[in-house]
Amino acid sequence: MAPTPLQTMLGLDALHHDFRAFVESVLVIAALLGAFAVRRRRRAVTATTFLLLAGSVLIDTGARFFPNPDIGKKVAVAAFVLFLFGVIRLILEGIDAITRRGKVHFSTIGKDLLMILLWFAVLMAVLYTDFGVQPLSILTTTTVFAAVLGFALQETLGNIFSGLSLSMGHPFEPGDWIRSGTHLGRVKGIAWRATTIVTRANERLEIPNSVIAKDVLFNYATGAVRDEINIGLSYGVPPNHVREVVLTLLRDVPQVMREPAPEVLAWNYADFSIEYHIRYWISDYGVQERVRDRVASSLWYALKRHSIEIPFPTRTIHVRDAGESAYEVAGRGILDGYALDEMCTFARGAALIPWPNRLQDGRYTFDGHDYQTPLTEPDRQNAIHGLTRWMNWQARQVDPSTMLMSLRLHPQEGYPFTLDLEIMYRLADGGLEVRTTGRNAGDRPLPYASGHHPYVTVGTDLVDDAILRIPARRFLEVDDRLIPSGRAPAVDGKPLDFRQPHPISDLHLDTAYAGLEPDPDGRVRIGLRHPSGRPALDLWMDAGYPYVMAFTGDSMASERRRRSLGLEPMTAAPNAFRSGLGLRTLQRGESFTSAWGITPAL
């Protein structure tokens, strides 16, 4: 029996065919033992390579048992190609084992690509010598197929070429900590499609190579990585003393490098503290979180030992019967309110429901019926600021940052409707938020509007010096009873135009503004600031408040006159129960919510 190509290559063609089979059996057993020996060990030479060699020799041995000689010859050729592929793998893996000497693989892409090219060259040589297939025809067919496949697999090929580029450029090594986009982890290696990283949560992430190639890549394996903690400390402590305390504690943290030396920078004079940036360096980014925890914890104890205060903003609001009697930030008054045992004159901080401002003659018509309310501004024969100012609201929820007040307005003279009211006050880092909800709890429609009457201050003795900005195009013209005449002239060219901030000076304001211009977030912001720039505040209103009233308090008693500025968000215009401007009709069970707030800047 004629020897196979594999037997000829191995030099077994001179032996008897039975002895050739015996030698091949020995080779199969040796390859299987090699695969068994490396199966659980992390070696460069893999068990797959030995199994490929054993399988190809086994196939070659069995080729002579095929009854059809042509089929047996083709099987023997296939075994020869597989054996050469195994030899190529063995050689490349052996070279790899020698060159990297136990180092972790950065990428197998280069080795895999070389293996494919060598195997393809062997395949073409065998096809040409044993079957007479012309290499040119194979290349032509392969080129067409590759073009079609490349069009169909653009994204996959993009990942492959990106992986090849990363392999050649070596922007990182196995074990490096990298950040790509929002992903942070330690590199395991690069494959054809993706780069593998392991996060701090021990999550294994496969990031497509094309994503890494396009994004900004952060590599923290530079030998020294800087971390930073920012903290605000009391104005009463000299910065040099703070620097000495912090640098001393950093020297006691072993993972903090001595060179580059840590830094403590006095960065900014903030509202409540001096801001410091504490910068230090670590050599292994993998311990960054643990080092940061130790530094932050040690910092607290060190500051405590040296009686260095970490100040924080305190915000306090006093609410009495759903009115803002006081609002303080870090001990500084934002509202010109009143004491808890003092009468709330001029509606300071009051909720104005079910109508804000004035109602002419206290009389209106709704749903075909005429109603007369009590005249609470008798000098001008008007009803003013609704019906809830002197009522006892109930606190339904109270916690350190939120208070929810509620009231049921029962049917009464001039307003025979049932209205449930809720006002939520919430304190947050951004300041004060007030959210008002009115719900028709009766069985017939009712008219509804609401407003609030805070008086704000930025620390000036009189409002004359305060700088005001009101982004309004129009104002409501009024008669001698302060009832809107129905005209809303433009503010252009008039002293009432505060679209560009300027001092109030001696201007007498008891003016309702309309045509408010919101910011991109939909809120209208009215600004008031001290001539020096600080303190300052913004009173913001959502779309539920299309009107605002500005009142300089000229009619108050002398000790309060022009001491603060009344800024009244209103869901409807003054006299809305008669004019209908902004007035809402709430059907049975229907509710309406509006929100406003104050953002201080001290």
For 477-503, give the secondary structure using H, E and C.
CECCCCCECCCCCECCCCCCCCCCCEE
- 316-601 architecture in CATH? Distorted Sandwich (2.70)
Give the closest residue to 541 by CA, choosing from 418, 457, 451: 451
Residue 20 identity: R
C-alpha 36/C-alpha 32 separation (Å) is 6
3-class SS of residue 344: coil
**Domain extents in the chain:** 5-159, 162-219, 225-305, 316-601
The number of helix segments (H) and strand segments (E) in the chain equals 11, 33
Longest dimension (CA), the chain: 132
Domain 225-305: assigned CATH number? 3.30.70.100
Residue pair 483/575 in contact by the 8 Å Cβ criterion? yes
C-alpha 492/C-alpha 505 separation (Å) is 18
pLDDT at 152: 45
C-alpha 303/C-alpha 305 separation (Å) is 5
Handedness of CA 94, 96, 101, 103 (dihedral sign): negative
pLDDT at 508: 94
pLDDT at 71: 77
Per-residue pLDDT tens over the stretch 510-565 = 999 999 999 999 999 999 999 988 888 999 999 999 999 999 988 888 778 899 99
pLDDT at 586: 96
C-alpha 412/C-alpha 418 separation (Å) is 9
List b or e across 439-458, with b for residues whose CB sees 16 or more CB atoms inside 10 angstroms: bbbbeeebbbbbbbbbbbbb
C-alpha 127/C-alpha 576 separation (Å) is 95
For the chain, list residues with pLDDT below 70: 1, 6-7, 13, 16-18, 39-45, 92, 95-170, 192, 271, 312-333, 337-342, 602
| Strand ranges inside 171-298, DSSP E | 177-180, 183-190, 194-198, 204-208, 217-219, 225-233, 263-269, 274-282
- What are the angstrom distances between the C-alpha of 210 and each of 117, 190, 206, 213, 214? 23, 12, 12, 5, 6
Beta pairing class for 204-208 and 217-219: unpaired
- Non-local CB neighbours of 395 within 8 Å, separated by 6+ positions: 319, 403, 404, 405
Give the closest residue to 38 by CA, choosing from 54, 26, 20: 54
Q: Tell me the CATH number of domain 162-219, given options 3.30.565.10, 2.30.30.60, 3.40.50.800, 2.40.37.10.
A: 2.30.30.60
Any idea which residue has 């070389």 for tokens?
114
pTM for this model (two decimals): 0.53
